[in-house]
Amino acid sequence: MRVLVLHGPNLNLLGEREPEIYGMQTLAEIDATIRTAATELSVDVRSEQHGSEGAIIEALHAARGNCDGAILNPGAYAHYSYAIADAIAAIGIPVIEVHLSNIAAREAFRRTSVTAAACRGTISGLGARGYVLALRALTELLSK
Amino acid sequence: MRVLVLHGPNLNLLGEREPEIYGMQTLAEIDATIRTAATELSVDVRSEQHGSEGAIIEALHAARGNCDGAILNPGAYAHYSYAIADAIAAIGIPVIEVHLSNIAAREAFRRTSVTAAACRGTISGLGARGYVLALRALTELLSK
Amino acid sequence: MRVLVLHGPNLNLLGEREPEIYGMQTLAEIDATIRTAATELSVDVRSEQHGSEGAIIEALHAARGNCDGAILNPGAYAHYSYAIADAIAAIGIPVIEVHLSNIAAREAFRRTSVTAAACRGTISGLGARGYVLALRALTELLSK
Amino acid sequence: MRVLVLHGPNLNLLGEREPEIYGMQTLAEIDATIRTAATELSVDVRSEQHGSEGAIIEALHAARGNCDGAILNPGAYAHYSYAIADAIAAIGIPVIEVHLSNIAAREAFRRTSVTAAACRGTISGLGARGYVLALRALTELLSK
Amino acid sequence: MRVLVLHGPNLNLLGEREPEIYGMQTLAEIDATIRTAATELSVDVRSEQHGSEGAIIEALHAARGNCDGAILNPGAYAHYSYAIADAIAAIGIPVIEVHLSNIAAREAFRRTSVTAAACRGTISGLGARGYVLALRALTELLSK
Amino acid sequence: MRVLVLHGPNLNLLGEREPEIYGMQTLAEIDATIRTAATELSVDVRSEQHGSEGAIIEALHAARGNCDGAILNPGAYAHYSYAIADAIAAIGIPVIEVHLSNIAAREAFRRTSVTAAACRGTISGLGARGYVLALRALTELLSK
Amino acid sequence: MRVLVLHGPNLNLLGEREPEIYGMQTLAEIDATIRTAATELSVDVRSEQHGSEGAIIEALHAARGNCDGAILNPGAYAHYSYAIADAIAAIGIPVIEVHLSNIAAREAFRRTSVTAAACRGTISGLGARGYVLALRALTELLSK
Amino acid sequence: MRVLVLHGPNLNLLGEREPEIYGMQTLAEIDATIRTAATELSVDVRSEQHGSEGAIIEALHAARGNCDGAILNPGAYAHYSYAIADAIAAIGIPVIEVHLSNIAAREAFRRTSVTAAACRGTISGLGARGYVLALRALTELLSK
Amino acid sequence: MRVLVLHGPNLNLLGEREPEIYGMQTLAEIDATIRTAATELSVDVRSEQHGSEGAIIEALHAARGNCDGAILNPGAYAHYSYAIADAIAAIGIPVIEVHLSNIAAREAFRRTSVTAAACRGTISGLGARGYVLALRALTELLSK
Amino acid sequence: MRVLVLHGPNLNLLGEREPEIYGMQTLAEIDATIRTAATELSVDVRSEQHGSEGAIIEALHAARGNCDGAILNPGAYAHYSYAIADAIAAIGIPVIEVHLSNIAAREAFRRTSVTAAACRGTISGLGARGYVLALRALTELLSK
Amino acid sequence: MRVLVLHGPNLNLLGEREPEIYGMQTLAEIDATIRTAATELSVDVRSEQHGSEGAIIEALHAARGNCDGAILNPGAYAHYSYAIADAIAAIGIPVIEVHLSNIAAREAFRRTSVTAAACRGTISGLGARGYVLALRALTELLSK
Amino acid sequence: MRVLVLHGPNLNLLGEREPEIYGMQTLAEIDATIRTAATELSVDVRSEQHGSEGAIIEALHAARGNCDGAILNPGAYAHYSYAIADAIAAIGIPVIEVHLSNIAAREAFRRTSVTAAACRGTISGLGARGYVLALRALTELLSK
C-alpha cells in the first residue's frame, strides 16, 4: 500500500511559524513521525511539500497511478482552491484532508473548506497526530 | 483515564437510517467497537445517546468532574446549537467532534459547525472509525 | 392505518395565545376535530404535543414502527431545527407539515421551513382544517 | 359558490413534463378530478391555464366579480412575480396557492413564494390532490 | 408634443384596490386629471394600461416613433423587470417613472426600482398628482 | 402657507461641482427659481443649506412650529442617516425628498434612501425643477 | 407580586465557567442577591435554571397563571430560539431579558437576540446586578 | 432537422438600440444570416421574436412536437425568468442560449443566467455569429 | 461621583414625538427624574442633549477628565456611528447605553447597536426608568 | 493567423476524469480535432495545458507578441482567478473562454466566471466542439 | 504650495487613546512632525482637527480655493460617510487618505473605506509617518 | 539594511498594459527609481517579479533570513490569496503592501485586500512613488 502525504503552502516553516497556532514541531519531525507510523502499519509513505497550487495539482495527478491514497494538508488553499478540489475529484483515489489547527475556531474564511468537499473526510485541530490518524484511517479504508 | 462518548440526535437509528450516508453499523455495534479500542488503550469509556439539546448540555456538564475528555457527535446540532458550543467551552475538558459523514460534501447548512469552534478538533467523513481515531487522539492529548 | 399527529412548541396554548394569528380553538378542540375526521376516514389517530425539540424527535422515532404516517406542526422549530428535519428523513414514513397561520405572510424568518424539506408536503394558513386536510391526503397516499 | 382554478406556466405539459417531479396525470385529468370534487361539494368550478404573467393577473381580476374564491398554482411565478402577488391582494377574494411538488425540498430559489404572502394559505407537495384539498378548504372558508 | 402615459399591472383596479395605500381615485379619474393638465400644457397625451410585461415593452417600443416622452408607472414590475428596463434604455426618448405610494416606506422589495435606473427620474408617494408633475417635468425637458 | 427648503451637504457647491451629474445652476439660482415659483403659488418659502447632519436635524425641528411642510434634499445623508429619518418622522409635518440626479442610476449605495421612508414622497433625477414640483405637490397636499 | 427568574443553559456553571466573561459569582449567590432585593421590593421571587429549550418554554407557560412577570436570561438560546420567543409572546405577562456579559461586544452571532424581540426590554453587560435592575423595572411596570 | 430560433424582448430593436453594446445589424439581417447558414447546414430554421415571457414559453412548448432543437436569446429574461427555465426543462429538446453581448462583463445582475441552467450550453459575447455557432453545435448534437 | 447623561438626536422632542413608541414624558421630566434618583444616590449628574454626532463626540471627550462615568442614549446614531463608538472606547470611563424603546422589536436596522459594543452594557425598552437603572448600575460599578 | 489554445488545470485528465461531466475524449483527441479545424480555417494553432495559475498567466503574456487571439479553458480558475482576468485584460488580443460542461447548471460557485469578464465571449456546455466554434469565431473576428 | 491636513474624530485624543493601536504621539507632536517635513519640502501646511462630519465637509470646501491639495485622516467616518466622500469628489483638488493603524487588520467594518474611493490614494498602518509620506506624495503630484 | 521588492502577477507588462490605470512607466523604470531611492537611503534593495502565487510565497520565505523587510505589490492576489497572507504572517519581517492604482475606487472585488491584513501597512493609488514611500517607511521602521 502506497500513500502520498502532501503538505501545502507555508508548512515548510513549521516549528518556526506562529508556534502558538501550529505547534513547535518542524515539518521534518512530522514527516519522521508519519514514517514511523507508516512502517508500523506496513504502508509505503512518501511526503512532499509544495507552496504552489499548480504543483499540488500535479502531485495529486502523479499519485493517480502510483499511490493507493493520499493525505493532503492544503493549508490556506483549502478555503478557495476549486482547482485543487477538482484535482482531488479527478484522481479517483481516496484523499483525507488534515489541518494542524482547529480551523473551525479561527478567522471566518477558514471555517469552510472547499477542498474537503472532494475528500473522503477531514481531521483538524489535532496537530501532527492528525496525519498519523489519517494514515491509519486510509490504511483501513484501503484494506477493506 | 475516563472518556465520555456522546452521540447526538437520530444516531440511535444508525444502521437503519439512510445507510448510503451513514453506513450499515448500528449504534450498539459502533459502541462495541469503541469499547474494544478503549480496552486496548486502557481507557475507561462510557457512551450515551441523546436527542435533546438540553440532555446533551447536561451530559457535558456531568462530564466535568467525572471524565478527562469527551468525544461528541452533535449530529445536526453542530450547525446551530450555540448552547452546546457554550457548554463545551464551559466544562474545560478537551472535546473532539466526530461526524460519520463528510459534512463538507453535503448540504450548504452542514458545511460549518458552530460546536466545532469550541472543541479541540474535528474528525469527519471517516465513518465509525472516526470515534476510534478521536479516542486515540484524546488519549495522547491527555497523557502528555 | 395509524397516524401520529404531533403538535410542537406553544401549541398547547392555542385559543388563548394571540387568537388574531392562531384562531380561537383550543388544542383539545382541534384534536377532537381531527379524531372525528379520522373516524370518518377509518384512521387510527393519536395526538401528542411537545415543547421540546428532543421530545419531538423521540416521538417521530417512536412512530417508525407504530404508525403509517405522521402530521407534524413543528411550530417555530420549522425554521431552524435541522435535527427534527433529520429525524423526519430518518424514519422513512410520510410526514405532512401543517401550520395554522400563513407563514409566507409573517416575519421573514418564518418564510422558509427547514423541516418541510424532509416532509412530503406542507399545508399552511388554513387553520385547524389544515390538519384534517393533511389527514385526508395521508390516507390517500398510504392507501395507494 | 363559484371558484376559479388557475394553472400557471408549463402546467399544460403535465404528465409529459418531468413526471418524476410533477407526476403522470395530465392537466385535463387533474381538471376532471377537480370537477368531480366540485360537484360533490356543490361548487361551480372553472379552470384556466396561462403561461403569461399578464394573463394570470387578468384572470385574477376577472374573478373579482364572478368568483367567490380562487385556487392558484402560480408555477415558477411564485418565486418572483410581485405583480401577481399584488393582483391577489387587490381582488379581495380568498386565494389558496397550490404546488404539485414539495417546493421546500427543491432548488433554493423555490423555497420561498412571494405570491403565497398574499394568499390565505398554501398546499404543496401533495400532487393533484392538493387542488381538491384547496377546494375543500375554500368551500369551508366561504361557507362560514 | 406627444406623451405616452403607461399604467402597469393592477392599476386598472385603482379606487377599489387597497384604497388606504393607493387612494380612492379610479384610473379613469386619474387619466381625466392628466388630460386636463395636458390640455393646459398643450401636450397631446395618450394613456394605456397593461398587466402584461410584454405589452408594456411593446407599448414602449411603439412610443419610439410616435411620442416625445413617456410617463411609466410600472407597478410591481419596477422591482424585477430588467426586460422593461432594457426597453426604456432602448427607445431613447425620456421616460419618467411614477409611483402612487411612497415605495421607500413599504416592504423591503419595493425599496429599489430596477426600471428607474433606465429612466430620467422618479416621482413617488405623491398620489395621482405625481403623473401631473411628471407631465410638467417632461414638457419642460422636451421644450429645452 | 410656509415651506422650508432644506439643502444638505455639498449642495452649496452646485454649479461648480461635477456639473455633468448635478447641472450648471448654482444653489443661489435654484433658490431664486424656487422663490419665483413660491410667489406664484402664494407660498412663503425659506431656504437653508447645511453640511452637518446635526444642523439638518435642528432645522427640521425648528420647522415644526414654523412651517406647514418641508422640502429636503438630504444629499448623501439620504443613504445612511437614520437620525435625519427619525427627525422627519418626529416633526409631523409633510416632507418631500428631492434629488437632483437620478439616484436609481448611480452607485449601488445611492439606490436606497433611508430618509425617504419617513417622507411623504420623493422626486429624483429631474434637476432643479424637482424642487418646484415638490413645492407644487406640497401646496396641493396642504391646501386639501 | 410574583416574579419568575429563569436562567438558561450553562448558567448553572457560573463562577466556574470562563469567569473573565461571566464573573466569579455562582448562580446560588446571584439567586441570593436577587432574593434579598426581592424582599426589599416586597416581591415574591422564584428562580429556576434549565438547560433545555423545551423546559424553558414549559417554565414560561407555567408562569402564565402564577406570576405577574418574568426575568429571563436565555443564554445562547437568545440568538436562535424562535420557539422561546413565541412562548414569551404567548404568555402575555411582561418579560425582561438579562445577559451577564455585554453581548454587543462579543462574537457576531451574539449581537442580535431573537428572544428580546418578544420581551419588554433587555439589560446586558451589567453582571448579576442586571437581574436586580430587571426586578426593579418589573416591579415598577407591574405596579402602575 | 428543424430548429427554432427564438429572440426575446427588445431584440426587435437591434441595430437601432444601443449599437455600442448590441452591434449595428438589424434582427432581419441576423435572421437572414442564420437562414443562409441553415441552408448550408441543411437545417430547416424558423425565427420568432417575442417581448412577452408567456409568448416565449408558448413558443418553446410549440417547438416540442415540431422542432428538433432550439436556439434562445432570452434577453433580460435570462436573469430572472424561472418560468422560461422550467419551459426549457419541460420540452425535452436541446436548447442553446445565445447572448449578443458578453454578459459576464456587464452589470452584476447580468452575470448569472437562470435560464442557461436548463439549456445545453451558452454562447455569449460573439455578436450575431453566436447564433450561427449555436446552429452548428445543435446540428452536430442532433445528428449524433 | 460625577455622571454625564447624554441624550442623542431627536430626544429633545420627547413627549411630543411618536408617544406610542417613546412615551409621554418630556426630556425635562426625564431629566428631573434622573436628578431625583441622583440625589438619592449621592451622585452629581449633568444632562446634555445633542443632535449632532460631532457634539456627542465632544461631550464624551469632555467627560474624560470631569466625570466618573456616562449614560448615553445615542438615538439612531447607535446603529451606524462608528465615530461615537470610537469616542466611547477612547475616553476610558464606563459608559452605559440606554434606549427608551425595545430596539430588538423594531425595524431591522435598529436591532444591532455599534455603539453598544464600546459600552459596558445596555438597557433598552424600559422607558425613562432605563436611565435611573443605568445610574444605579454605574454608581455600583464605580464604587467598587 | 496564429491562435493559442490554452487548457487549464485538470484538463490533462480528460477522458479519464468524471466522463459523465466532461465527456470521453482525451485532451490529445480534442487537440487533434482543433488542429483539423484549424487547418481547414488556415489558422496556425498551438495548444498548451497548465495546471498552475502562474503558468497560465505567463502563457497569456507570451501570446501577446506571437498570437492574434487565444482560446482559454480556465477550468476552475474561471471562478476565482482575478490574476488571470487581469492577464487577459493586459495582453490586448481577443480571448474566448470555453467550458466543456454547462457551468450554469452545476454547483453555485461555478455559475459566475470572473475571467469571462475580461474575454470577448464565452462558449460553455457544448463539449469539445466549443473549442472549434471558438476558433471559428476568433477567425472571423480577426479577419474583419 | 499649500496643503491642508485634516484630522477627523477622536484624533485629538492621540497619545492617550488606546496607545497599543494608535501609538504614543499626541496630535500636537504629529502636527509638529508634519510641519518640519513641510518646511523641508517648502510646503505651506495647515492642520485642523474636527469631530463633526459637517465640519470636515466645510473644511474640505474651504480648501478648494485656498489649498493645492489635502491630507485627510477621516477616522471612523472613512467607513460610512458618503457625505465626506462627495465633498472630496466635489472640491477637485487631490486628497490623500491616511490612517495611523492598519485598517485591513482590524474589525470587519474597518476593512473598506468609502471616502478612499474619492481620494487619489491611501496610506495606512504606518503611524504618524503616513502623514509625512502623504505630504511628500502630494508635493510630487502637484509639482508635475 | 536589505529590502526585498516583490512585484506580483502582470506587473511585468507595466507601461504597456492599460496605461490609463497603471501609468506609462515600465517595471524596469520603476525598479531603477526604487534603486536610486535605495542608494540615497543606504538600503540594499533587490527586485523580483513573479506571476505565480507559489513563487511569491517562496520569495517571501527566502526573504526571512536574508532581508530585514519587504515591499509587496501582490497585484490581483491581494484580493483572494490567503496563502500569500499566511506567508507574510509566517516570515516575521515587516512587509508593506503597495498598489499602483487606488484600489478603493475600482471594481468591488478590489476594495478589500486579504494580504494587507498580514502586512504592516498599505500604500495605494500613488503610482510608482508608492514603492519609494514604502521603502522610506520601512527604513524608518527598521532603524528604530
CB-based contact F55 I55, cutoff 8 Å: no
Which amino acid belongs to residue L131?
A: Y
Query: Which residue in this structure is represented by grid cell 437503519?
Result: B16
| Residues F84-91, mean pLDDT to the nearest whole number | 97
Q: Strands (DSSP E) along chain F, which ranges?
A: 2-7, 44-49, 69-73, 95-99, 121-124
CA distance K62 to I105: 44
CA distance D41 to F117: 48
Q: Is beta strand C44-49 parallel, antiparallel or unpaired with respect to E95-99?
A: unpaired
A50, A53, A115, best to mutate vs chain J, most J CBs in 10 Å: A53
The predicted structure's pLDDT at residue A23 = 79
Question: What tens digit of pLDDT does each residue of J80-110 get?
Answer: 999 999 999 999 999 999 999 999 999 999 9
Range of the domain at C90: 2-143
| Residues H116-143, mean pLDDT to the nearest whole number | 96
The answer to whether J22 is a known catalytic residue is yes
The predicted structure's pLDDT at residue B52 = 97
Q: Counting every residue, how long is chain B?
A: 144
The predicted structure's pLDDT at residue G17 = 73
**Measuring CA to CA, how many Å separate E67 from each of B107, E34, E53?**
53, 16, 20
Helix-, strand-, coil-residue percentages of chain F, each rounded to 5: 50, 20, 30
Which amino acid belongs to residue L40?
A: E
- Contact criterion met (CB below 8 Å) for B50 and B56: yes
Q: Tell me the three cell numbers of residue E103.
A: 415605495
Q: Is the pLDDT of residue F17 over 80?
A: no
Helix-, strand-, coil-residue percentages of chain G, each rounded to 5: 50, 20, 30
The predicted structure's pLDDT at residue F6 = 98
Q: Is the pLDDT of residue G143 over 80?
A: yes
CA distance E61 to E56: 9
Residue H3 backbone phi and psi in degrees, to 5: -130, 135
Catalytic residue among B22, B50, B77, B131: B22
The predicted structure's pLDDT at residue I56 = 98
What 8-state DSSP symbol labels residue F58?
H
How many domains, in total, are found in chain E? 1
- Going by pLDDT thresholds of 50, 70 and 90, the confidence category of residue L144 is confident
**Measuring CA to CA, how many Å separate K51 from each of C101, F12, I56, I83, K11?**
51, 21, 9, 8, 8
The predicted structure's pLDDT at residue A24 = 85
Q: What is the CATH number of the domain that holds L80?
A: 3.40.50.9100
The predicted structure's pLDDT at residue B47 = 97
Cβ-based contacts of A58 with chain J (< 8 Å) = 51
For residue C74, give the 3-state DSSP assignment. Answer: coil
What 8-state DSSP symbol labels residue K24?
S
Q: Is the pLDDT of residue B103 over 80?
A: yes
The predicted structure's pLDDT at residue J19 = 80
| Residues E12-36, mean pLDDT to the nearest whole number | 89
Q: Is beta strand I121-124 parallel, antiparallel or unpaired with respect to G121-124?
A: antiparallel
- Going by pLDDT thresholds of 50, 70 and 90, the confidence category of residue G35 is very high
- Going by pLDDT thresholds of 50, 70 and 90, the confidence category of residue G73 is very high
**Measuring CA to CA, how many Å separate A60 from each of A64, A133, A140?**
7, 20, 21
CB-based contact I137 G119, cutoff 8 Å: no
CB-based contact C76 G58, cutoff 8 Å: no
Q: For chain I, which residues score pLDDT lower than 70?
A: none
Percent of chain H with pLDDT over 70: 100
Which amino acid belongs to residue F29?
A: E
The predicted structure's pLDDT at residue I52 = 97
The predicted structure's pLDDT at residue F119 = 98
| Residues E20-40, mean pLDDT to the nearest whole number | 92
CA distance I140 to J4: 76
The predicted structure's pLDDT at residue B16 = 78
Averages of pLDDT over runs of 10 residues in chain K (144 residues) are 97 85 89 97 97 98 95 98 97 97 95 97 97 97 86
Kindly identify which residue of chain L lies nearest to residue K126, measuring between CA atoms. L121
- Going by pLDDT thresholds of 50, 70 and 90, the confidence category of residue C108 is very high
CB-based contact G61 C51, cutoff 8 Å: yes
What 8-state DSSP symbol labels residue C69?
E
**Reading across the β-sheet that carries C2-7, which strands appear in turn?**
C44-49, C2-7, C69-73, C95-99, C121-124, D121-124, D95-99, D69-73, D2-7, D44-49
CB-based contact J125 H124, cutoff 8 Å: no
The predicted structure's pLDDT at residue E27 = 96
For residue D10, give the 3-state DSSP assignment. Answer: coil
- Going by pLDDT thresholds of 50, 70 and 90, the confidence category of residue C123 is very high
CA distance L75 to L115: 10
- The secondary structure of chain L as a DSSP string is -EEEEEE-TTGGGTTTS-HHHH-S--HHHHHHHHHHHHHHTT-EEEEEE-S-HHHHHHHHHHHHHH-SEEEEE-GGGGGT-HHHHHHHHHH-S-EEEEESS-GGGS-GGGS--TTGGGSSEEEESSTTHHHHHHHHHHHHHHH-
For residue E2, give the 3-state DSSP assignment. Answer: strand
N-terminal to C-terminal alpha carbon distance within chain B: 12
Which of A117, A45, A55 has its CA nearest to residue A80? Answer: A117
State the ipTM, two decimals: 0.95
CB-based contact G10 B86, cutoff 8 Å: yes
Would you write out chain D's pLDDT as a tens digit for each of its 144 residues? Answer: 999 999 999 999 998 777 787 778 999 999 999 999 999 999 999 999 999 999 999 999 999 989 999 999 999 999 999 999 999 999 999 999 999 999 999 999 999 999 999 999 999 999 999 999 999 999 999 987
Query: Which residue in this structure is represented by grid cell 450498539?
Result: B28
The predicted structure's pLDDT at residue B84 = 98
CB-based contact K87 F18, cutoff 8 Å: no
The predicted structure's pLDDT at residue E22 = 77
Percent of chain C with pLDDT over 90: 90
CA distance D68 to D1: 6
| Residues F23-47, mean pLDDT to the nearest whole number | 95
- Contact criterion met (CB below 8 Å) for I71 and I3: yes
Burial of E142 (0-12, 13-18, 19+ CB in 10 A): middle
For residue I124, give the 3-state DSSP assignment. Answer: strand
The predicted structure's pLDDT at residue D21 = 79
The predicted structure's pLDDT at residue C79 = 98
Q: Tell me the three cell numbers of residue A16.
A: 518556526
| Closest chain L C-alpha to K3 CA, distance in angstroms | 17
Cβ-based contacts of E17 with chain D (< 8 Å) = 89-91
For residue C6, give the 3-state DSSP assignment. Answer: strand
Residue B141 backbone phi and psi in degrees, to 5: -55, -45
CA–centroid distance for A111 within its chain: 17
CA distance I122 to I130: 9
| Residues C106-121, mean pLDDT to the nearest whole number | 96
> How many Cβ atoms are within 10 Å of E48's Cβ, its own excluded?
14
Q: Is the pLDDT of residue G144 over 80?
A: no
Cβ-based contacts of J12 with chain A (< 8 Å) = 61
L40, L126, L142, L143, best to mutate vs chain K, most K CBs in 10 Å: L126
The predicted structure's pLDDT at residue I19 = 80
CA distance K22 to K17: 7
- Going by pLDDT thresholds of 50, 70 and 90, the confidence category of residue L138 is very high
E6, E7, E11, E13, best to mutate vs chain D, most D CBs in 10 Å: E13
- Going by pLDDT thresholds of 50, 70 and 90, the confidence category of residue E37 is very high
Q: Is the pLDDT of residue H21 over 90?
A: no
The predicted structure's pLDDT at residue I125 = 97
What 8-state DSSP symbol labels residue A11?
G
CA distance G72 to G6: 5
Query: Which residue in this structure is represented by grid cell 471558438?
Result: J134
The predicted structure's pLDDT at residue L20 = 80
Percent of chain L with pLDDT over 90: 90
Catalytic residue among J7, J50, J79, J99: J99
The predicted structure's pLDDT at residue B24 = 85
Q: Is beta strand H121-124 parallel, antiparallel or unpaired with respect to J121-124?
A: antiparallel
pTM (global) more than 0.90: yes
Burial of C143 (0-12, 13-18, 19+ CB in 10 A): exposed
Query: Which residue in this structure is represented by grid cell 466544562?
Result: B91
Question: What tens digit of pLDDT does each residue of E46-83 get?
Answer: 999 999 999 999 999 999 989 999 999 999 999 999 99
CA distance H74 to H118: 12
For Cα atoms C58, C64, C65, give the angle at the middle one, nearest 5 degrees: 120
Chain H touching partners, 3 or more CB pairs below 8 A: D, E, J
Residue G25 backbone phi and psi in degrees, to 5: -75, 140
Q: Counting every residue, how long is chain F?
A: 144
Question: What tens digit of pLDDT does each residue of L103-135 get?
Answer: 999 999 999 999 999 999 999 999 999 999 999
